Amino acid sequence: MVEEIINDLSVISPLLPIVVGVKKYKTLLWLYALAGLLFDITMLISDKNRNIPVNIDVIANTFLLIEFFLISTYFKGKILSNKIVFYVLFVFCFSIFVALLAIRSPLVLNNYGAAFFNLVYIGYSIAGFYFILKRQEVLFLGRSEFFWFCAAILLYFTGNFLIFLSDAYFQQTNAVLQMRVWVFHNILNIMFSIMIAVALLAKNE
Amino acid sequence: MRVDLRALIIIVGISVMLLLALAIIFFVILYQRRIIAHQIELKKISAQKELELIQASIQSEEEERTRIASELHDDVAATLSSARLFLYKTKDAQYDENVVNQSKELLDQSIAKVRDISHKLQPATLQHLGLEQSLQSIMETINRSGTVAATFIARAPLPRTAENVELAAYRISQELVANMLKHSGATTIVAATDFDGGQLVINFTHDGKGMTQDMYEALIYKKGSTGLKNIVNRLKSVNGVIRFYLDADEGYKTELSIPLPA
């Protein structure tokens, strides 16, 4: 029961940044929240109605790629000023994800690819913190959208990294524990949405 | 059991990674707070220093006014009053050459004193002959006193430059020499000027008890030390640098460097 409530809250949690930041609908953060909501709703619908002929893992893999594109574009101008280096890294990470996808199957969730992306995002956020401290452009961090986004990314993807990595293992050995771990993922997702909403609010400051 | 242990390791791993992430975020927040505190402290120190410099400048101006007022009142006014009395005397009496001569002498003294005051306010030597001659003149004046042996060495001819630069260099040199005479107990002072690469350099060496850079930097933040604060002010106005150090062979040295305007 509690798990279901948490799951439902997690699904609708991207609504919070979407509503809070509706005036900034052109920003990457808002688009990211929208993509998250659409994906979560698709997941929910397919979960509630098994008759819909949708391969949720394919959608998840697509979402992972969209997420990678949006987050990388967000960090592009902030941590990497050299466009060529950015595109090289982008293509490199993309290729690794595709390679991992091809090794297993495009029709199943690319856990290892997701875990790899998580590591990339953790790297982005740590680089973001480094540049926040180095450039000293913002004196009060609470008013910085970039700080909140970095904090959200670091917490969310650090928590998710081992979840994605161990998902396949739990699926084979302990399905109950796997469900519990995903509840933890849902809690992280709610927290992530709240922090994105704060980041969108902070942009006005 | 094996499966549970792996699950436990994974859960502990997730927790540890989350804790690490939190630690990074807290570190960033704390570091930024430290930077804010440091910036506030720097602003405070800067404001305090600015205030002290302004106070020193005002105090120095007031001291100069007091000195001029007392010289005018005690010397020039008194001498002129005496001359006036002598001249009044000649009004009733017959022409007395002695009285006229005394009056002339008093008037000459007054003129000399006014010239002296004017010279101290805006040194004529500096204006007409330049910094090199003026520094030489300072050293010659000290030498004439007979208590301190002062020497002037011009290592390279100093070019004439902007008035404010020459005046700043002259005033700083005056203050440094005054301090040496007042506090060091030196018996010999050597002033040497040099001009190299657009930089005007004046070196003072003495055999008394001098000051090091640390002492200078500590003193300029202390109350009082008006002379040193004036030096700081004047250096700031011409982007000059001063360095105090002890040379094992030659004694205490003070090196003043001022970039000359292009």
Cβ–Cβ gap A169/B6 under 8 Å = yes
Cβ contacts of residue A113 below 8 Å, gap of 6+? A61, A64, A96, A97, A98, A100, A101
Q: Is the pLDDT of residue A203 over 70?
A: no
Closest-CA residue to A47 (of A34, A36, A57, A62): A57
Cβ–Cβ gap A158/B17 under 8 Å = yes
Cβ–Cβ gap A154/B3 under 8 Å = no
Residue B155 lies in a domain: yes
Residue B42 lies in a domain: no
Q: In what order do the strands lie in the sheet with B149-154?
A: B149-154, B188-196, B199-206, B251-259, B241-247
* B14 vs A133, A159, A174: nearest CB: A159
Structural domain count of chain A: 1
Contact A147, A97 (CB under 8 A): no
Same domain, B104 and B164: no
Same domain, B117 and B83: yes
Last residue of a domain, one of B121, B154, B188: B121
Cβ–Cβ gap A181/B11 under 8 Å = yes
Residue B33 lies in a domain: no
Distance, in Å, from the CA atom of B104 to the CA atom of B97, rounded to the nearest integer, reads 10
Distance, in Å, from the CA atom of B260 to the CA atom of B115, rounded to the nearest integer, reads 30
**Contact with chain A for residue B37, Cβ under 8 A:** no
**Contact with chain A for residue B20, Cβ under 8 A:** yes
**Contact with chain A for residue B35, Cβ under 8 A:** yes
Same domain, B193 and B219: yes
Contact B194, B203 (CB under 8 A): yes
Contact B206, B142 (CB under 8 A): no
Contact B186, B218 (CB under 8 A): no
Query: ipTM more than 0.95?
Result: no
Q: Where is A30: in which H helix or E strand?
A: helix A28-48
* CA-based nearest distance A53→chain B, Å: 33
CATH of residue A190's domain is 1.20.1070
Residues in chain A, total: 205
Residue B45 lies in a domain: no
Q: Name the DSSP class of A108.
A: S
Structure tokens given for A91: 């293509």
Same domain, B89 and B170: no
Q: Are strands B251-259 and B241-247 parallel, antiparallel or unpaired?
A: antiparallel
Cβ–Cβ gap B25/A136 under 8 Å = no
Residue B148 lies in a domain: yes
Same domain, B142 and B248: yes
Distance, in Å, from the CA atom of B256 to the CA atom of B235, rounded to the nearest integer, reads 9
Structure tokens given for B205: 């060496």
Residues in chain B, total: 262
pLDDT digits 0-9 by tens, A52-89: 777 788 888 999 999 999 999 988 878 877 788 888 98
B29 to chain A: which residues are within 8 Å by CB?
A: 141
pLDDT digits 0-9 by tens, A177-199: 778 788 888 899 999 999 999 99
Q: Is the pLDDT of residue A14 over 80?
A: yes
State the residue range of the domain holding B110.
62-121
3-state SS of chain B is CHHHHHHHHHHHHHHHHHHHHHHHHHHHHHHHHHHHHHHHHHHHHHHHHHHHHHHHHHHHHHHHHHHHHHHHHHHHHHHHHHHHHHHHHHHHCCCCHHHHHHHHHHHHHHHHHHHHHHHHHCCHHHHHHCHHHHHHHHHHHHHHHCCCEEEEEECCCCCCCCHHHHHHHHHHHHHHHHHHHHHHCCCEEEEEEEEECCEEEEEEEECCCCCCHHHHHHHCCCCCCHHHHHHHHHHHHHCCEEEEEEECCCEEEEEEEEECCC
**Contact with chain B for residue A158, Cβ under 8 A:** yes
State the residue range of the domain holding A11.
2-202
Same domain, B116 and B140: no
Residue B12 lies in a domain: no
Structural domain count of chain B: 2
**Contact with chain A for residue B11, Cβ under 8 A:** yes
CATH of residue B253's domain is 3.30.565.10
Which residue's entry shows tokens 């439902």?
A: A8
Same domain, B172 and B78: no
Residue B52 lies in a domain: no
Same domain, B108 and B203: no
Same domain, B81 and B140: no
pLDDT digits 0-9 by tens, A89-142: 889 999 999 999 888 888 888 888 998 999 999 999 999 999 998 888 877 888
Distance, in Å, from the CA atom of B170 to the CA atom of B132, rounded to the nearest integer, reads 9
Same domain, B80 and B155: no
What is the residue-level pLDDT of chain B in tens, covering all 262 positions?
A: 455 677 788 888 888 988 999 999 999 999 988 988 888 898 888 888 877 777 777 777 777 777 777 777 777 777 777 777 777 766 666 667 777 777 778 888 888 777 777 767 767 778 788 899 999 988 998 888 788 899 999 998 888 888 888 888 998 998 899 899 888 999 999 999 998 878 999 999 999 999 999 999 888 877 777 788 888 888 888 889 999 999 888 899 999 999 988 7
CA atoms within 13 A on the CB side of B85: 8
CA atoms within 13 A on the CB side of B235: 20
Distance, in Å, from the CA atom of B118 to the CA atom of B140, rounded to the nearest integer, reads 19
**Contact with chain B for residue A169, Cβ under 8 A:** yes
Residue A205: predicted pLDDT: 46
Residue B206 lies in a domain: yes
What separation in angstroms does the CA of B151 have from each of A26, B135, B140, B168, B192?
77, 10, 8, 21, 8
